[in-house]
Amino acid sequence: MDKLISIDLIICTYNNAGLLDQVLNKIAQQQVPANVKWTVLVVNNNCTDETPSVVEKYIQSHNIPQLSMVLEPKQGLNHARACGIQNTIGDWFAFVDDDCMLDPDWVAQAAKFAAMNPDCGAFGGKVILDWETPPPAYVLKYGYSFAQQDHGMNIMQPNCLVGAGLIISRKAILHTNWLNEQFLSDRVGKKLVSGGDVEIVLRIRSAGYDIWYTPACKLLHYIPARRTEHQYLVNINYGLGISQLMGDSLTWSYSYKRLILESIYSTFIATVEIAKQALKARLKRGYLEAVEIPIVWGFILGKWTGILRLVKMNQQQRQKLIGSAKLVHINS
């Protein structure tokens, strides 16, 4: 890898100073080749805690080259990410969440993959869940709720990627026009809204770019004990259900009427199935434990909510949303 590679790490944060300190400490330990130009930008999304002083501590230490911070007054992860993109200039940028601990060679491995795949639109690596306390056994079945990502030991092309540690080509994101218009919301303060990272990846694919998974980029995603509580899992799956319905709308290739009818049918079937599983769980004969029923139902309820949102959406919004990230065949 002789060519100069430029990559910017964007850390969007909201009142998470304690973990941000640990994240920056891991970044300070990065072992990066001389031919990789890298910067770190912390996007302060209206933090009222010690975030500014934590960042200033690392700026003064000079352990992280080109570390800076910018304030994004509009609340929400989409706004913070857009701010980060607009305030960096590297050919590549990475979303490093404020609870993600990078392996010491993460930046080096990301730069290496980018250099070998210059036409790639986005790629991600292995996201390993790092529990504050051992969770109940049933929680381990829902790793997707915490952005777990492991597609094995080989480089491959997945259908989608999680937002934690997502590396994106600046050329690709500009091609999608995402900076000017986003359709799906993402985290706003402490609200459990999701879908923004899914939209980004789907729109990059729709623009004709490949997405990749490389296991060489490894990070630990810290999961505090409060996020393993039962109600948290119910709430996050409700948001994920809405996200899936909206994501399906983005990639839809047919009529609005057919989308609604097929969504209602599939969600009705899922509703009947979870009702059956609830009965079986009471009799201890099903594949789900009784404690899991509200979690799965939360996801299904989220899909019903997504359908309702589509129905209530005005025609202009609906026309912009549906099919905006559908896959098209691009001749190379």
Pair 166, 211: CB distance under 8 Å: no
Q: What is the pLDDT of residue 287?
A: 85
Burial of 225 (0-12, 13-18, 19+ CB in 10 A): exposed
Q: What is the pLDDT of residue 175?
A: 96
200: its two tokens? 């980004």
Low-confidence ranges of the chain (pLDDT < 70): 1-2, 186-194, 328-332
Q: What is the pLDDT of residue 188?
A: 59
Cα–Cα distance for residue pair 304/265, rounded to 1 Å:
11
Q: What is the pLDDT of residue 331?
A: 41
Q: What is the pLDDT of residue 196?
A: 85
Q: What is the pLDDT of residue 328?
A: 59
CB atoms within 10 A of CB 246: 23
Cα–Cα distance for residue pair 8/91, rounded to 1 Å:
8
